[in-house]
Structure 1
């Protein structure tokens, strides 16, 4: 499955382009711009499945770094600062990774 199977390609492109500059990523704005925030939990779970590259049931720090690439392959990687901030925002139980429910909450609260 590809991200464009669940979100409009144009919205993804606009969102990724908006955060092309290093250290400019804002997850709240990104999730809104790409259209994910307006989707229901089922679509959010599909997106989670795409971002969970190793199928561990969690999005770990190394996968978070590549989050934009999960939306479109030619996107940049997140910086360490951006990755750390995203992990802090999404990791509600403090285990160092984001589970599916945490991801849905992260997107919904954005």
Structure 2
């Protein structure tokens, strides 16, 4: 399922362009720019399901590394430090992955 089903393609492109440089990713700014913060709880859950590529019910570190590519094929991979920072920001229970509720809270912080 493409992200454009829930988010505007122009917003996704603008956000990806803003974070093209490795080390520049800021999840709060990104979630605002793609319009995710303004979406309903149900839409945020649908985006979570897209990011959870293996359908495990969690977004693990490997999936976080590909978060920008999940929004659009032209997105870059996050650097290791960006991936770890995103995981640290969202992993409230420190189990090494982000669940749906944790993701919703992460988006709400943006």
TM-score when scaled to structure 1?
0.99
Residue in structure 2 matched with residue 21 of structure 1 by the alignment: 21
Are residues 1:72 and 2:72 paired?
yes
- Aligned mates of 2:21, 2:43 — CA distance in 1: 27
Residue in structure 2 matched with residue 91 of structure 1 by the alignment: 91
Deviations 1:28-80 (A, max 9, x none): 00000000011121110000000000000000000000000000011100000
- Aligned mates of 1:95, 1:40 — CA distance in 2: 26
Q: Displacement of 1:12 after TM fit?
A: 0.4
- Alignment RMSD (CA, Å): 0.4
Residue in structure 2 matched with residue 32 of structure 1 by the alignment: 32
Residue in structure 1 matched with residue 102 of structure 2 by the alignment: 102
Following superposition, which runs of at least 4 residues in structure 1 exceed 4 angstroms of deviation? none
Q: How many equivalent pairs are there?
A: 110
Residue in structure 1 matched with residue 2 of structure 2 by the alignment: 2
Q: Displacement of 1:107 after TM fit?
A: 0.2
Are residues 1:47 and 2:47 paired?
yes
- Aligned mates of 1:102, 1:84 — CA distance in 2: 15
